[in-house]
Structure 1
Amino acid sequence: MSANLVRSRLLSGLSKQKRLFSTNITAEPPRDPLAGASSIIAEQSSSSTPPPTPPVAEPVPGNKKSFGFLIFTLFGALTGVTAAVGYVTYAYSTAEIDEKMKSLRAYTNYHPPEDASSLEKFQGLFYSTALTGFGKATDFYLDLRRSIEEQVRGFTEPSSDKLLPDLHPQEQHVFTLVLDLNETLLYSDWKRDRGWKTFKRPGVDAFLEHLAQFYEIVVFSDQLSMYVDPVVERLDPKGCIRYRLSRSATKYQDGKHYRDLSKLNRDPAKILYVSGHSLETTLQPENAVPIPPWKVDMNDTALLDLIPFLEYVARHRPADIRPVLASYQGQDIGKEFIERSKEHQKRMQDQKHQRSIWRR
């Protein structure tokens, strides 16, 4: 019986050791070095990767389209306003625009009657305010346009409507002889070795001194006064030239400076304009006395040849010089007048001879 007891106690002790052994194994699971290494690498790689970049917000197509439409609308409106202002400036004068605005200005002071409805009062107020603003804009445009036109007129128009003072009552019969300067009375030339030099046309002194007895002599040049004044003073020390006019007295048109003889404050029937470029430099070619332009030809006699014709006109005083000049159109007036004078003298001699024969 003791032997059985010892056996049972021995078996119970072995069973306890077996349970203890199995418990220790399950509490500490086996370590797999490969599995552990792979999991660590995975964790490190995931931790070192930067966070993804947030998406950039793209512009909404609708906003870009509306902005472009706004720019297009403003450009179209500006183009339309510019075209309208340009057309009005071209088609109407300031006086015409001011006349058309009178009726609109009268409506700006419109007041609806007391018994008018609220809608009628609102419409009247709206139209009155709109027309007031339009009228102010128009007034600003007219003031600006008048200022610009005045500035342009000061450059393109003669400095005065009366370029010469009134003629003395005792000289109302005197003709006015207008002379161009360059290539007519003198010639200015420039060379690098000597600069500018001015040459007098042959016979200019005798021409001025003789015709000053019969004419009111005026020099009319398209050069600046700073050039004209000193040149005329040296050209005419005896004071045969009564007046001198320069570029400010010309009319600028189509890129050229024209002599407008109608601004001289003289009878156009008694004006003669002598120039080497007379038909191209005056607005009244019917008063032109063309002579060949001079460029330092010392054998030239054009001025001296013209003296007999001009003296004849001054002595006989035709009622209107323009038909006389028209009869010489396309010809050298100085030489043609001499030829006509010779023919006239010949006819007079023939008639005198015939009378003497009849008397016999």
Structure 2
Amino acid sequence: MIKLLKRAFSILGPQSAKDQGKLTVVLDLDETLGYVYHPEDVCGYQYQPDIKEDAVIDLKTHKTQLFIYKRPHLQEFLELLDEHFEPILWSTGEKEYTDLVADVIDPKGIFRQRLYQDDCTYQRVWNYPQYEFLKDIRALRNDVSRTVIIDDDWQGMYFQPDNYLNIDKFEAYYQDDWLKNDIPRFLMEMKDLPDIRPYLRARFMMKYAWAKEGQLYELTDEDVQWAKYMGKYNHTHYKELKSKYDQLFEPGHKLLPSNKLW
């Protein structure tokens, strides 16, 4: 019952006057905006990059230090978000860890809100043996048509593949231009669209790529019809795509507004 009540109210609430009408951009933290190394990694998967870290901070509850490496062009990217979008940070990490790292990643406090592991859905997904922390953007606001989630891994994609924009993992062993070129370009192409989902589905076909590998998804009849339709129109034909998208796919689960709950 508590979970149902929590889902009935959106996490973000209405947009501020500054952000009214802007595209909501939800960004992952680790390996998306930066890389964090801690020497006491018990799993043995981490290594320390051979470049100079941007900051070293103490994670006192775990008696370890965190070496933080910012992704190239991060500050310019955050300033772009601040001007044109409503940026939200959503990490699968615990609050203490996320806030410590986010204070380094975003010293100006550009992100309108920070979300944490407690805001994720913890469940076992189709065809996967283990439980995962998943990001369901329907919990943020009722209408997800103007929300894009940027993540380096599939946990941000699972519930809404048509809202997902993938970015390569950043592990600080090479420099890249993702935050300078591709991601800003995609966002600027989407920022005024009334519904970003037809654009993202047509441009990247994420659900189809994973289904082809037999992972996460099975294609529906509507998915197959859309794929055939793409033989005629690509992502630059937004009007046609939007019409077909509305025809084929349900708009998604709509949460009841608070005044209708009781």
RMSD (Å) for aligned C-alpha atoms: 2.7
Q: How far apart, in 2, do the equivalents of 1:280 and 1:266 lie?
A: 17
Partner of 1:51: none
Q: Provide the C-alpha distance between the structure 2 equivalents of 1:280 and 1:168, rounded to a whole number of angstroms.
A: 25
Q: Are 1:258 and 2:134 counterparts? A: yes
Give the structure 1 partner of residue 153 of structure 2. Answer: 277
Query: Which of 66, 79, 102 is residue 196 of structure 1 equivalent to?
Result: 66
Judge conservation of contact 2:167–2:178 (CA < 8 Å) in 1.
yes
Aligned counterpart for 1:319 among listed residues 183, 194, 209: 194
Indicate the residue corresponding to 1:165 in structure 2: 13
- Report the TM-score, using the length of structure 1 for normalisation: 0.45
- What fraction of aligned residue pairs are identical, expressed as a percent? 27
Deviation at 1:267, TM superposition (A): 2.6
Task: Give the structure, 1 or 2, with the largest relative contact order (CA under 8 Å, sep 6 or more).
Answer: 2
CA change 1:196–1:276 in 2 (3 A) is same
Partner of 1:90: none
8 A Cα contact 2:72 2:176, kept in partner = yes
- Equivalent of 1:218 in 88, 94, 113: 88
The residue identity in structure 2 corresponding to 1:229 is D
Decide which of 203, 224, 228 is 1:328's aligned counterpart. Answer: 203
- Runs of at least 5 residues in structure 2 that lack an aligned partner in the other structure: 41-47, 49-63, 125-130, 207-233, 235-262
Which residue of structure 2 lines up, in the alignment, with residue 177 of structure 1?
Answer: 25
Tell me what 2:231 maps to.
none
- 2-structure distance, mates of 1:167, 1:195: 36
Letter in 1 for 2:185: P
SS of the residue corresponding to residue 252 of structure 1 reads strand
- State whether structure 2 residue 167 is matched by structure 1 residue 294: no
1:308 aligned residue (156, 181, 185): 185
Higher percent of residues as strand: 2
The answer (yes or no) to whether the contact 1:189–1:196 under 8 Å persists in 2 is yes
- Residues 162 and 283 of structure 1, relative CA distance in 2, 3 Å threshold: same
Q: 1:45-80: per-residue Cα shift (whole Å, max 9, x none)?
A: xxxxxxxxxxxxxxxxxxxxxxxxxxxxxxxxxxxx
1:176-208 CA-partner distances (Å, limit 9, x unpaired): 000000110011112259853121111111111
> Following superposition of structure 1 onto structure 2, how do residues 88-167 of structure 1 map, counting pairs within 5 Å?
153=3, 161-167=9-15
Q: The residue matched to 1:237 in structure 2 has which SS? A: coil
Q: How big is each residue's C-alpha offset from its partner over 1:102-131, in whole Å with a ceiling of 9 and x where there is no partner?
A: xxxxxxxxxxxxxxxxxxxxxxxxxxxxxx
CA distance in 2, matches of 1:196, 1:169: 36
Aligned residues of 1:160 and 1:249 also touching (Cα < 8 A): no
**TM-score normalised to the size of structure 2?**
0.61
Residues 159/222 of structure 1: CA separation in 2 closer, same or farther (3 Å cut) = farther
5+ long unaligned stretches in structure 1: 1-148, 332-339, 341-360
Cα distance, 1:298 vs. partner?
A: 3.5
